[in-house]
Structure 1
């Protein structure tokens, strides 16, 4: 049997090794992004219910960054869309059924770019929410910012390193710690999502060139 001189470049050993790496990477990145996306949504939902009660959401006494819900649409939905596709394609390639997946690799790269933008938006808004501090009920006259007790943002200065100032907020109880923990979690989650989405963009581009399946 005479071998054909017109073998496709995708069947070369180097291309097969890259394709195997692309498939394995997708099967790791996809589930990780799924878990992070769900964690982002959960953290943002908790921000809307300080102390586990809906009272302050109904009254409109929730900080504007929490109400913007960046963890739901930014670090959540856009990331979950990409993660679902990446996971499905990655594990389909494990069985090597329907291996013509350069188109899937391209879609994966596009969705990962959207996930990167969503995670970046979540990171920025969460950072602003952490810096501004929570909306709370406090005595403005004690801080020279007005008269009486009112709902506002009492922390104009950096309050994160001085926990003694956290008692400024009278209601909701423990709102400062609540916001600090959850916004910090969103920052960490969205930063990790950006790293993984960037990795998957590169992975998808390699998949477009070399294929996206193992064992062709």
Structure 2
């Protein structure tokens, strides 16, 4: 497969993943699927916008660049027909690195949030939310989940959405890393499909 075609496939894959991350981060602003009474009821890590900025907005730019590589019609400079394609493939490496950095940010935020647990109401405090779990202890002991009395099924909501962000971010990092390799091959060897008249 030509390096341009491969990059286009990666771009097509990254766009829905970015949309999923943005939607998950937006849903996290509604703890347990409920509208929060005040911003203090929302888990702190949600406000770091890992899914919106990291795996969302920062991932759209590389995806669009990857999509456009196949149609790059820069046909030569200094008598070398493939240098336009080579430069485009080199620039895609930089965008892939930026996308990977954004996805890494989202993964780190998700890991911290999963380990920290959600803010929730407890039997001891039904008016203000707090963090009832010690670092990660609730992950292996589901009976601790009963400590949270709301809003909604907050523990499942929190874990599901942050796990989706974590997994999606890891996939994005893998795809961006693949494009770095693909971009290096395209930079060194040129696009196997050529560039002029095709």
Q: TM-score normalized by structure 2?
A: 0.85
Whether 1:25 and 2:9 are equivalent positions in the alignment is: no
Q: Distance in 2 between matches of 1:190 and 1:23?
A: 23
Question: What is the number of equivalent residue pairs in this alignment?
Answer: 185
The answer for unaligned runs of 5 or more in structure 2 is: 76-83
List runs of 5+ in structure 1 lacking aligned partners.
1-19, 141-147
- Cα deviation for residue 214 of structure 1 reads 1.5
Deviation at 1:162, TM superposition (A): 2.2
Does 2:163 align with 1:179?
no
Of 60, 63, 67, the match for 1:80: 60
1:102 matched to 2:82: no
1:60 corresponds to which of 37, 40, 46: 40
Q: Give me the whole-angstrom Cα distance separating, in 1, the residues matched to 2:33 and 2:89.
A: 42
Q: Which has the larger radius of gyration?
A: 1
Asked if the contact 2:97/2:180 (under 8 Å) is kept, the reply is yes
Give 2:81's aligned residue: none
8 Å Cα contact 1:101/1:213 also seen in 2: no
The alpha-carbon deviation at position 215 of structure 1 amounts to: 4.2
What CA RMSD, in Å, does the superposition of the two structures yield over aligned residues?
1.8
Q: TM-score, normalised by structure 1?
A: 0.79
Instruction: Map 1:111-122 to 2 at 5 A.
Output: 111-122=95-106
Q: For residues 35 and 88 of structure 2, what CA distance do their matches in structure 1 show? A: 42
- Indicate the larger mover: 192-201 or 159-168: 159-168
Question: Aligned with 1:159: secondary structure?
Answer: helix
Pairs within 5 Å for 1:149-164: 149=126, 150-157=128-135, 158-164=137-143
State the alpha-carbon separation in 2 of the partners of residues 88 and 26 from structure 1: 9
